Amino acid sequence: MKFLGAFSLVVLASLTGHAQSNTTPWRITQPTWTENHERQFGEFVTRIGEAVEKRQCWKVDTCLQSTANPYFGSDPAGLKYYADCADLPYYLRAYFSWKNGLPFSIASEVKPNIGPQDDPTKKVDARYSTMGNYITKRYDVITKNGVFKNTHVNAFDVLNNIVPGLTFSGSFRMQGNEDAELFTDFYPVKINREAIRPGTVIYDPNGHVAIIYKVADDGRIFYIDAHPDNSLTMGMYTPKFVRSNPAQGAGFKNFRPLALVDAKVDSSGSYAGGKIVAAMNYQLPNYGLEQFYGTEPDSSGWSKGKFSIRGQQVPYYDYVRMSLMQGEVHIDPLKDMAQLTDDICVSLKDRVEAVEAARTSGVYLKAHPERLPVNIYGAEGEWENFATPSRDARLKVAFADLLVSTKANIERYKKRDPAIKYNGGNLAADLFAVYAQKAQACQFTYTTTNGLTVKMNLEAARQRLFNMSFDPYHCIEHRWGARLEQELAACTDDENKRAWYEAEKWLRYQSERRYDARMDYSLDQLTGPLPGAGVAAPADVDIVGYLKSQR
């Protein structure tokens, strides 16, 4: 994720009259966001998401320049169509607002709250602040009144410069401030189908952002997310999106509806002047805090709150899904297995593209730096562009969740939980059959250092999961956890890089993304797990062994 400061000069230039190659006025013709606009925005996001799901397009630019975008035919030349993960919700919102003549406003500066645990002598990174952030400035799209001619905001400037320049993951790291002037762009929502819908944003406090495009009848939530190379991927909401303290604003949030007030209609039929105001929390029927505190809050701490649905206490992620189900609450363990493995398969295939980008860049041929970044999950430069520690951590969480959820479904079935719907004679055997079929069907390839093709499937990836290197300076074979001499033969890593690969195993074992821990260690220092950096042993992901033991 990018730093806000790195983009300040670009935005400042655009706000103070920087010359633009294209000028397209942003005309506000509908001064108030309505529920109908919110529904239409969700439909717009759904069209993009479904195109990504069907692999009809897989980049922000190709998707927005395709039939998936109902507005593309009216776009003048010159738009960059670029967004990374933090930009994507803002970019889609700004684009939709422009096309529909709606108000748009964005936090232009955020600062971290300083907590008692923070060192006052060190700068707190707003992307990973312990106590979240607050807004100090805003940028509003407003047409200025002139004596002879009104001055419109340049839509190209907003989409090409301002949105990508001002937004970063720290823009989402706040619970929902009601300040009339410096309101948050988002508000936390209730856990129901009216609140969580296409267009709802999911914020992972480990530094990732996604936007929902579909909520299935069985309560599963599907999202799209963007990456620094402008690619778009899709996935399913699972524990890979972690919970955190309420100040960090993790979880589900919707854009705060806006209205332009005290404006006047000019001769063109658009509104000029006035100011943008936002709906306050008490005015929002979908505003809610149960995702933080539970349906049964506990005064001893937010994380102690319990979640109950229809008289049954359930884990948070089950609560979300069951709350979004259409009709009778039910869980089909076989369908769960199929969906979770499909989601992992998508992540593996996306990883292929990420590692391939490192291969084609040639970064793996460079000498290994003397130290790791200060934090491997939030670096810059080549590490940010080509390393995969966060992506790999989410993959490890997904495999671990597959095992955990499978165990839970089997135990609930044994206890005759009425929510579990299964009519077969051997649940473990049937689950194993589904997994085996899905794992075999999930096939992908990677290109070796010497240009050969290696075929893999999901089960092969599971077996070498904690051997797959996130380090962009390692050979491609180590990036994919190769163990066989025949597969490793093409690896060009020298003795030093191989030593780094071995030393980094403690970090590979870790699935928790820690942004508060120092990680800029040298090779000599990586002799084992260090505070916040590395664990002694990997999590259990042996779904095959477990299911065989239960048959």
In this predicted model, what pLDDT tens digit does every residue of 255-273 receive, in sequence order? 999 999 999 998 888 999 9
pLDDT, averaged across the chain: 91
Rounded to whole angstroms, the Cα distance separating 369 from 385 reads 15
Rounded to whole angstroms, the Cα distance separating 84 from 255 reads 18
DSSP readout, 404-432? HHHHHHHHHHHTT-TTB---SS-HHHHHH
**What is the 3-state secondary structure of 74-95?**
HCCCCCCCCCCCCHHHHHHHHH
Do the beta carbons of residue 212 and residue 45 sit within 8 Å?
yes
Is residue 241's pLDDT more than 50? yes
Number of H helices and E strands in the chain, helices first, is 18, 18
Do the beta carbons of residue 430 and residue 352 sit within 8 Å?
no
Do the beta carbons of residue 24 and residue 152 sit within 8 Å?
no
Is residue 20's pLDDT more than 60? no
**Cα diameter, the chain:** 81
> Which residues lie below 8 Å from residue 114, measured CB to CB, with a gap of 6+?
120, 124, 131
* Angle, CA of 104, 210 and 50, to the nearest 5°: 95
Proportion of the chain above pLDDT 70, given as a percent: 95
- Tell me the mean pLDDT in the region 59-71: 96
Q: Which residue has the tokens 């929502």?
A: 189
Where residue 128 falls among pLDDT bands split at 50, 70, 90?
confident
Give domain limits for the chain: 5-292, 293-324, 333-550
Long-range contact set of residues 269-275: C-beta below 8 Å, sequence gap at least 24: 269/29, 270/27, 270/28, 270/29, 270/101, 270/143, 270/152, 271/28, 271/29, 271/31, 271/143, 272/142, 272/143, 272/144, 272/145, 272/150, 273/142, 273/143, 273/144, 273/145, 274/31, 274/142, 275/140, 275/142
89 or 84: which carries more pLDDT confidence? 89
Secondary structure of residue 277 in the 3-state scheme:
strand
Do the beta carbons of residue 83 and residue 164 sit within 8 Å?
yes
- Tell me the mean pLDDT in the region 60-79: 94
Can you say whether residue 226 is alpha, beta or left, with left for phi > 0 and alpha for psi between -120 and 50 degrees?
Answer: beta
Q: Which of 21-30, 135-144, 210-219, 532-541 has the lowest mean pLDDT?
A: 21-30
Rounded to whole angstroms, the Cα distance separating 290 from 188 reads 9
Strand 271-272 relative to strand 264-265: parallel, antiparallel, unpaired? antiparallel
Secondary structure of residue 57 in the 3-state scheme:
coil
* Angle, CA of 539, 233 and 92, to the nearest 5°: 130
Rounded to whole angstroms, the Cα distance separating 515 from 518 reads 8
- List alpha helices for 115-208, DSSP H: 155-157, 163-166
Rounded to whole angstroms, the Cα distance separating 5 from 9 reads 8
pLDDT of residue 125: 87
Rounded to whole angstroms, the Cα distance separating 113 from 110 reads 10
Where residue 499 falls among pLDDT bands split at 50, 70, 90?
very high
What DSSP state is assigned to residue 269? S
Full-model pTM: 0.87
Strand 221-226 relative to strand 232-236: parallel, antiparallel, unpaired? antiparallel
417 or 338: which carries more pLDDT confidence? 338
Is residue 78's pLDDT more than 60? yes
pLDDT of residue 401: 95
